[in-house]
């Protein structure tokens, strides 16, 4: 297996494209299709036929989209959730963009980057015609700012670019980026970032992130009331002559967290598109005569993690007992399918197959339900009065998973409980590593074309603690050294071997219990055409690209 075959997958669209890629998305972006409490205000309906835009947009040019959760912000430098990204990706362009899968094709970039110095230098040529919506050209200085700002401003996204050691603006349309080491995921994750206009953003960062975002994408911002709606309009002066203008002239997004209500809106034609279809409602959507499901397997990973920092779950035998106490495959069959499927490692199945990881062997490492063995291990290694707490975010599916674990432990004689916390309290709690607060937590991650998206962000010691993305606090220096070495290698085979060793240890030591991956799904009114689902959740709904241009009858 050659690195060229796996990490240099070029895609031609007028000129040579770039490599596989995906952006690791933040924890709030992994709410998934499990359903949430209906505690956010809903926007008004759209006239009963998906076309009540309340303005002068002609029939056939207005699209109404119902999201699961309200977006939070518009600045790509700080965005860390799927729902904001779904909208921001319509307003901004990146150096490179996804094709219909996980390959990249140039967008603002004129071609693939020139790579020098053993993978530590990238030179990006920019298209001279690229322009922001305020009429300013997209320059190398804007791209430089896009790369450097996350670290300079200590954002949660800084780990995606903190390997950049230096930049040089060669000319207005050429940027050189130097790395501390040959960071493997740079060409498979980092270069997909949305580009921001430096001067506009720095002039008023608060306005840029709320009511005055400016991008270079095919749609521009119109209005937003948090928790109620977002409105975008087509940018008729869009700079990219390689793409036709979008058929859709106006998009209105409204958040509805309650799953059944979203489906009802699709059925009554109050909306054109609903995002996120949970397993229990697949048949309901399939039964709507005027609608269909657009779906594709997403690059996602949902799991239960153990607190290995302190308390009984710091002992591996206790973690083994918990895994023995439940039937994970049965849970997936009953609660997740057909909205998702079982995963056997922290690297989602689609990505693991791409890297030829040993999925069959990893599947064999999952412990089958064996209550007698679970009881034996707990009797020997857990205190008699153990009262484990499982914390979950505001997501019905993960709450049900936590309840299954708690019920099994209760049957074995332990007073286990599940706490459903809001996102802020949830992240603050698991970041403490305090066994008085939690022994297990259920969470998820969405990424794409590189194992680093998942392995580094969910397991490395540098992302534990306050502001971090893991709360298991697993401590083994060689384990973390291997994760770092895989990041810093440009050799595919070396990286593959290191990731296999890391995942072997994750599964042997029971740091996580891998659970499921979800479909990237949308319910779509049949009058909406050419709206395929994309495997990267933040790309949906993608109404205009190199391979589609959505229509509404």
Query: What are the tens digits of pLDDT across the range 470-505?
Result: 999 999 999 999 999 998 888 899 999 999 999 999
Residue 58 DSSP class: P
The model carries a pTM of 0.80
Angular region, 15: left φ>0, alpha ψ -120 to 50, beta rest? beta
Domain definitions of the chain by residue range: 3-212+526-552, 300-518
- Helix then strand then coil, in percent of the chain rounded to 5, is 35, 20, 45
Average the pLDDT over 15-34 and give the result: 33
pLDDT score, position 46: 36
Distance CA 465, CA 425 (A): 14
* Closest by Cα among 258, 336, 285 to 518: 336
Residue 518 has pLDDT above 60, yes or no: yes
* Closest by Cα among 525, 536, 429 to 50: 525
Element at 6 (helix H, strand E): helix 3-7
Distance CA 494, CA 501 (A): 11
pLDDT score, position 169: 99
Is domain 3-212+526-552 in CATH 3.90.76.10, yes or no? yes
Element at 498 (helix H, strand E): helix 492-509
Average the pLDDT over 123-134 and give the result: 98
Percentage of the chain lying above the pLDDT 70 cut: 89
354 — phi, psi (to 5°)? -60, -35
Residues 6 or more apart whose Cβ sits within 8 Å of residue 147: 161, 164, 167, 177, 190, 193
Beta-bridge mates of residue 98: 104
- What the block records as the tokens of 188 is 């498979």
Tell me if 196 sits within 8 A of 75, measured CB to CB.
yes
Neighbours of 172 (CB within 10 A): 13
Residues 6 or more apart whose Cβ sits within 8 Å of residue 379: none
pLDDT tens column, 384-407: 999 999 999 988 899 999 999 999
Q: Which CATH architecture has domain 300-518?
A: Roll (3.10)
Tell me if 25 sits within 8 A of 117, measured CB to CB.
no
Band of pLDDT at residue 51, cut at 50, 70 and 90: very low
Average the pLDDT over 418-422 and give the result: 96
Most confidently modeled range among 8-22, 320-334, 445-459? 320-334
Residues 6 or more apart whose Cβ sits within 8 Å of residue 361: none
pLDDT score, position 515: 98
């Amino acid at each position: 297996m050659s690195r060229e075959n796996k990490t240099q997958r070029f895609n031609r669209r007028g000129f040579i494209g770039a490599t596989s890629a995906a952006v690791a998305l933040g924890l709030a972006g992994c709410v998934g299709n499990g359903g949430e409490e209906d505690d956010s205000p809903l926007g008004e309906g759209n006239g009963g036929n998906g076309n009540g835009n309340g303005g002068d947009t002609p029939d056939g040019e207005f699209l109404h989209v119902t999201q699961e959760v309200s977006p939070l912000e518009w600045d790509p430098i700080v965005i860390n959730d799927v729902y904001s990204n779904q909208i921001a990706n319509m307003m901004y362009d990146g150096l490179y963009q996804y094709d219909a899968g996980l390959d990249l094709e140039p967008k603002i970039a004129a071609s693939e980057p020139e790579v020098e110095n053993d993978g530590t230098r990238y030179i990006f040529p920019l298209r001279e015609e690229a322009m922001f919506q305020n009429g300013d050209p997209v320059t190398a200085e804007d791209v430089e700012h896009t790369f450097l700002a996350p670290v300079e401003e200590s954002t949660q996204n800084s780990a995606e670019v903190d390997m950049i050691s230096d930049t040089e603006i060669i000319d207005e349309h050429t940027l050189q980026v130097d790395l501390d080491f040959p960071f493997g995921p740079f060409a498979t994750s980092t270069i997909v970032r949305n580009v921001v206009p430096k001067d506009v953003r720095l002039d008023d960062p608060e306005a840029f992130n709320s009511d005055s975002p400016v991008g270079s994408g095919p749609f521009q911002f119109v209005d937003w009331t948090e928790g109620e709606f977002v409105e975008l309009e087509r940018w008729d002066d869009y700079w990219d002559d390689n793409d036709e203008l979008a058929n859709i002239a106006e998009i209105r997004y409204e958040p509805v967290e309650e799953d059944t209500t979203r489906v009802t809106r699709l059925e009554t034609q109050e909306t054109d598109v609903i995002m996120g279809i949970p397993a229990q409602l697949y048949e309901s959507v399939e039964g709507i005569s005027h609608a269909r499901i657009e779906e594709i397997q997403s690059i996602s990973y949902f799991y239960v993690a153990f607190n290995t920092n302190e308390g009984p779950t710091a002992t591996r035998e206790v973690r083994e007992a918990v895994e023995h106490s439940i039937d994970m495959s049965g849970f997936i069959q009953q609660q997740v399918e057909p909205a998702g499927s079982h995963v056997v490692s922290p690297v989602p199945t689609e990505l693991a197959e791409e890297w030829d990881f040993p999925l069959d062997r990893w599947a064999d490492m999952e412990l089958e339900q064996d209550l007698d063995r679970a009881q034996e291990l707990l009797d020997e290694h857990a205190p008699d009065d153990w009262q484990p707490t499982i914390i979950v975010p505001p997501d019905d599916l993960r709450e049900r998973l936590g309840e299954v674990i708690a019920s099994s432990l209760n049957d074995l004689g332990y007073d286990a409980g599940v706490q459903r916390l809001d996102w802020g309290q949830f992240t603050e709690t698991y970041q403490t590593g305090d066994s008085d607060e939690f022994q297990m937590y259920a969470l998820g991650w969405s990424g794409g074309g590189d194992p680093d998206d998942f392995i580094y962000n969910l397991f490395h010691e540098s992302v534990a603690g306050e502001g971090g993305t893991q709360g298991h606090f697993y401590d083994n220096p060689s384990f973390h050294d291997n994760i770092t070495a895989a990041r810093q290698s440009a050799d595919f085979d070396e990286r593959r071997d290191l990731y296999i060793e890391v995942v072997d240890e994750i599964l042997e030591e029971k740091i996580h219990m891998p659970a499921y991956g979800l479909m990237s799904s949308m319910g779509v009114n049949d009058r909406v055409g050419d709206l395929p689902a994309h495997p990267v959740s933040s790309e949906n709904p993608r109404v205009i690209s190199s391979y589609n241009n959505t229509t509404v009858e």
